[in-house]
Chains A and B, each alone.
Chain A
């Protein structure tokens, strides 16, 4: 079966750095997405990785290792507004998205 694993919840301090991990077992791989979802709102696109390595976008970076079936989202200089759920999704061999259940990130002052 296809599976995406993320921690259910993480807590971090304002100004710090946090890494949210995602591991996947899917039938094929055609890219990995990270989305942010604030409570009561729609998911919004953060990043896309299709090749191994690190993609940096401002305070957010996303890393992919296809051989390990592993990705992480790195958030630097955490702000209170970063409190949200972070969703990992993999595009499988049929170009369908398989979604993780999301990681709820709590930022404390």
Chain B
């Protein structure tokens, strides 16, 4: 299985501050994803990447930006955090197996006060 690490795992910040979450993978998978998970909702896609410098928006991309300057790193940035962005954020890679299932990082819990 792919090795994925997310950092930080927990963060508390204040409204209006910038926040960057990092996702690092060790096996050169092409597709990487950022999701948020909130009670009562399914996982919601924020942004995804299909290669270095190749990214696209998901269903809840407003207020978020991403960058992928290296295959192994996918960064999610909240330019000016709001309380509605308090959530658990998961990074995922698409495996190379036939189903192309996703393998998730451990998650980053962000609280915006």
Residues of A within 8 A of B (CB): 4, 31, 33, 41-45, 48, 50, 87, 89, 96-102
- Closest-by-CB residue of B relative to A43 is B104
Residues of B within 8 A of A (CB): 40-45, 58, 90, 99, 101-107
17 pairs, A vs B, C-beta closer than 8 Å? A4-B42, A41-B106, A41-B107, A42-B105, A42-B107, A43-B90, A44-B104, A48-B99, A50-B99, A87-B43, A89-B42, A89-B43, A96-B58, A97-B102, A98-B42, A100-B42, A101-B42
User: B40 — which chain A residues lie within 8 A by C-beta?
Assistant: 101
Assuming A42-B107, A45-B102, A99-B44, what are 7 further A-B pairs, CB within 8 angstroms? A4-B42, A31-B99, A42-B105, A42-B106, A48-B99, A98-B42, A99-B43
